[in-house]
Amino acid sequence: MRQARARKPATDYTSPERLQKIFRALDDLFPKAECALRHENPFQLLVATILSAQCTDERVNKVTPGLFQKYPTPQDFAALGQPVLEREVRSTGFFRNKSKNIIGAARKIVQQFGGEVPRTMEEMLTLPGVARKTANVVLGTAFGIPTGVVVDTHVFRIARRLKLSKQKTPEKVEQDLMKLVPQENWITFGHQVIWFGRKICQARKPLCATCPLEPVCDAPDKTV
């Protein structure tokens, strides 16, 4: 009589040991990871983050210095006509919707928040064009408030490649990551994974041969 083969134990992708290997590797790779969007204050960061949707940070950083020189305050943006701003940000793509949201956010900040970017997730989400990703970027980077984990396209892709989440929306991936990453590391972790996605775990051709996380990764699209 044939004996049944022993089943190979399932991999625990969220075990403390595996998570620590991931955290240590990211710390070694990007010990001082910061937001790549250039800004001098929370409002500038808000504008830059809205512009960065479906656009590279490099492109946004080419547009914003001149933009902020012309319009340095929320009041300046609130007074703009949408066609004027559209011309300024056209190269970032989706410029009509972005211009509408930036002007709308500026007006709400001026009218309801005394000209200051709000410091809570609940208030941030009332601003036009602001969802959790943008709110997390601004609250974490500008104010050091860990309200969640930034889930952009890089973080979404890598969380699924490393099997830290199986979810199919950024919001649900964020909820999984918030359970796995210590809250005091939420801000840094988001920046580290974004840089990791840009430099190593790229979308089309991840550099698996030089990746320190390769031993703990069994993503189906690995290149080694």
Question: Which residues are marked as active site?
Answer: 133, 152
Q: Which amino acid, one-letter code, is at 162?
A: L
Q: How far is CA 121 from the centre of its chain?
A: 15
In this structure, what are the phi and psi dihedrals at residue 128, rounded to the nearest 5 degrees?
-55, 140
With CA atoms as reference, report the closest residue to 133 among 118, 148, 145, 144: 148
Please answer whether residues 49 and 117 qualify as being in contact, where contact means their C-beta atoms are separated by less than 8 angstroms. no
Please answer whether residues 92 and 60 qualify as being in contact, where contact means their C-beta atoms are separated by less than 8 angstroms. yes
Rounded CA separation 166/180 (Å): 13
Rounded CA separation 18/35 (Å): 26
Q: Which two tokens stand for residue 221?
A: 């699209």
